Structure 1
Amino acid sequence: MMTDFSVENIVWTQVLKEAFGESVELEDDKGHIEVYDIAAEFEVDGQGYAILVQPDRTDEEYEVLRIVKDADGGLELSTIDDDEEWENVSELYDELTFPEGDED
């Protein structure tokens, strides 16, 4: 079954904010820890996604990650390996954040 990544299918969530607060710490492959603010959380067809931004960044870069539950019911963030899925989620967030037709 193909996931329909459209605005109509979004369910806004707050599972990360309820678990961790307004920001999360992510560790990279080299053990460096970076702090990210949780910009948005939503589900599409039951799969959770998080949009994270670094607080000191002024550009429009953001991280798109999956929200998954581990075996103990805890929350984890994982990278999206499927390029098409990542692109769909990223475009959906852009559509929600920068709706077309809002220009004066």
Structure 2
Amino acid sequence: MSDNNHVHDENCNHDHEHEEVVILTDDEGNEREFIIVETMQVEEQHYAILVAADGTEDDGFIMRIEEDEEGEEYLIDIEDEQEWNRVVAAYEKMADAE
């Protein structure tokens, strides 16, 4: 998670009114709750900005939102470095505008 992070603290400007909680499973099978604090679109793709629901971590991270055949959304890691750089640049631009 350390490569995909942003600071989420008392100075953040995210809209917390419509937070969605998701449960993600790590590589060791441990489940943790995260809050989607923001979504954004970069080019034709949508992304979710997440933070730990229990507040144990100050840093959050960004995941790509995909859709299955039934239209159900799910989250996946961003593994492509060029895509990651585009998303981070878009996030920084969005954060500066707030």
Normalized against structure 1, the TM-score is what? 0.65
Aligned to 1:68: 66
- Gapped runs of 5+ residues in structure 1? 1-16
- Alpha-carbon RMSD across the aligned residues, in angstroms, is 2.2
Shift of the alpha carbon at 1:48? 0.8
Aligned to 1:8: none
Larger radius of gyration: 1
Identical residues among aligned pairs (%): 32
- Gapped runs of 5+ residues in structure 2? 1-17
Shift of the alpha carbon at 1:23? 1.2
Rounded to whole Å, the distance in 2 between the matches of 1:75 and 1:93 is: 21
Does residue 86 in structure 1 map to residue 84 in structure 2?
yes
Correspondence list, 1:10-21, <5 A: none
Aligned to 2:50: 52
Higher normalized contact order (CA 8 Å, seq sep 6+, divided by chain length):
2
Q: Which amino acid aligns with 1:39?
A: V
Question: 4+ residue stretches of structure 1 with deviation over 2 A?
Answer: none
Matched residue count: 80
Kindly provide the CA deviation profile for residues 40-77 of structure 1, in whole angstroms up to 9, marking residues without a partner as x.
11222221111101131452x22111100012211110
